[in-house]
Amino acid sequence: METILATFVVSMVILAILQMLPSSALATKKAECKIQACSLAVSALDAQLARGFTAVAHQQGLDLELPDVSSGGVVYHLTVRVLDTPQPRPTLVKVVRCTVEWNFGGQDFSTTQEAWLSKVKGG
């Protein structure tokens, strides 16, 4: 009787552990997608900031659609937008915002990275 009971308990523990494996793998893949999206957003943001204030300011009001990036079977869609700031002199400071959207497991996700770019006096 003790052997049957011990076998039952061990079987239940093993079954519980096996049920956790798919959900942990899914959570790991979701985290990898989020990290990839953040990395793409930062890279796109850095590329825009490297263009300089004048070039970026001319883009204001237009959504710049960057080419989609595919990684690990997930397609990431990148959009860059330049906005005025709530500052008293918006001609000197712009907000550059990069949004990355993707679909994983039938759910839509997005992440946004943002930087403020200012015009240097005399430059």
How much is the pLDDT for 46? Answer: 93
**Alpha-carbon gap, residue 90 to 93, rounded angstroms:** 5
All structural domains of the chain, each given as residue ranges with its CATH number in brackets, are 28-118 (3.30.1300)
What per-residue confidence (pLDDT) applies to 122? Answer: 59
Q: What is the mean pLDDT of each run of 10 residues along the chain (123 residues)?
A: 91 84 82 95 93 87 89 93 79 90 93 89 59
pLDDT at 16: 84
Strands 93-104 and 74-84, bridge-based pairing: antiparallel
What tokens does 110 get? 């997005």
48: how many CB neighbours lie within 10 A of its CB?
21
Phi, psi of 58 (to 5 degrees): -70, -15
